[in-house]
Amino acid sequence: MKSLIQFIEKVVEGFGGLARLCVLALVLLVATNVIFRYLFSIGPVSLQELEWHLISPIALIGLAYSMKHRADVRVDIFYDKFSIRKQGVIDLLTAVATIAIGLYITWLSIKYVGQSYRLQEGSPDPGGLPMRYLLKAFIPIGFGLLVFQGIADTLTAYLKITETKNEAIKIAEREAI
């Protein structure tokens, strides 16, 4: 089970690297667009649209990546006061909810991306980028990764609950002796 958790988290980490590269590319692209606009008085539509295209993988892949690194929002003021076992139960419930929501959005988005692909949807703006379906494809990819990370979190929470239970049994047995 631990090796499956490690495999899933390596996959999420790898996609997180892609998101980090997109952040770097976005910073460089915005700087380039500003230079073009203010020094040369030009602002290519395609470069401006590319900024939005880079935000998609950052946000959607970043969901699973931030969950892996526990950068998501939690109410730690209460959580930290709970026992390890109660924390595991809360983690298990939130992981299962994450999987359910991620599966639902992934399922809904596949049809949406497929329609965009069949139409060969591109930018409606003159000089805009083609293949908008590639941008939309990050929706099922991102939420699919969220499901993947949710599975890893479910397994981790299960281990946390069962290991805590086993430790409590061992302590009780030692005290009985």
pTM of the full predicted structure? Answer: 0.83
A 10 A CB-CB count for 111 gives 10
Q: How far apart are CA 23 and CA 2, in angstroms?
A: 31
Question: pLDDT tens per residue, the chain (177 residues)?
Answer: 888 999 999 999 999 999 999 999 999 999 999 999 888 888 888 888 898 889 999 999 999 999 898 877 666 788 888 888 898 999 999 999 999 999 999 999 999 999 999 999 888 888 788 888 888 999 999 999 999 999 999 999 999 888 876 665 565 555 556
Q: Please name the helix (run of DSSP H) or strand (run of DSSP E) that holds residue 165, with its range, or none.
A: helix 138-176
CB atoms within 10 A of CB 6: 11
Give domain limits for the chain. 2-176
Question: Which pair of tokens denotes residue 104?
Answer: 């639902």
Burial status of residue 11 (CB atoms within 10 A of its CB: 0-12, 13-18, 19 or more): middle
